[in-house]
Structure 1
């Protein structure tokens, strides 16, 4: 019985921390106009693909898809990587409240504690404009 309760709580935590499709789509649009861009130098390292993923981000999402650049250029793999990254870090960033698209966007832009960094507000404003537009 105890293991069933733990499994249910784990599922609830994953559900509560999940980024919604609209937010994910807006992040993709802001990063690359949702195109599989090649790698380019950005803030001390290369960023690649649909979400302009850095190698450290890809490692943090579990290193899926046979390689960082390969996964970044594959929409399904990149989507999954971002979702796993958000599941891993959103609750750590926001504490006991339910994460919002703002939290997810700022974590994507600023790393595991990005939701608390002033430097990520401008990025959120871009994502929010997309999010509000439908």
Structure 2
């Protein structure tokens, strides 16, 4: 059942944004809805990335409490005015929307591959290392252990 659901969802996601990195925020099925990552899971990522320091701003090539790079921001739909304004400000909403958009692009493939609903571990791994190719890497394993050590599962 989940495999069929995943296949249908994957086709819908793929066809809904051909040539785009994310759906427009006013579309019926937005990328924010596609990535059903919980607020608790987002909070865990935030904690591991920066101690959830909302005053962090931008340093080197990473911005804000989620330490989002400009490439990740672009892959997440280039939400907001620009990368630094979206991800490096104390209000985490735009950065979280960027993460949801980025993750939303991988939903269909992940469900088809796993044949089950996605967990925080799946989202954390994709956030850190990319889609199916990166999520099982040694780097993703280490990142997931960091998230678990922060008290998340």
Distance of 1:110 and 1:117 partners within structure 2: 8
Matched, 1:123 2:143: yes
- For structure 1, which segment, 24-33 or 103-112, has the greater mean C-alpha deviation from structure 2 after superposition? 103-112
Tell me the CA shift for residue 16 of structure 1.
Answer: 6.8
Match of 1:27 in 2: 45
The count of aligned residue pairs is 120
- Cα RMSD of the aligned pairs, angstroms, is 2.5
Deviations 1:40-99 (A, max 9, x none): 34xxxx111121111111111111110001111231101111111111124324523322
Are the structure 2 counterparts of residues 32 and 51 from structure 1 closer, same or farther at C-alpha, using a change threshold of 3 Å? same
Match of 2:117 in 1: 98
Gaps of 5+ in 2: 1-8, 14-28
Q: Is the 8 A contact 2:86 2:94 kept in 1?
A: yes
Q: Return the TM-score normalized by structure 2.
A: 0.67
Tell me the CA shift for residue 120 of structure 1.
Answer: 1.1
Tell me the CA shift for residue 101 of structure 1.
Answer: 0.9
Which one has more relative contact order, counting CA pairs under 8 Å at least 6 apart? 2
Q: Return the TM-score normalized by structure 1.
A: 0.76
Tell me the CA shift for residue 20 of structure 1.
Answer: 1.0
In structure 1, which of residues 50, 73, 76 is the aligned counterpart of residue 65 of structure 2?
50
- For structure 1, which segment, 48-57 or 83-92, has the greater mean C-alpha deviation from structure 2 after superposition? 83-92
Match of 2:78 in 1: 63
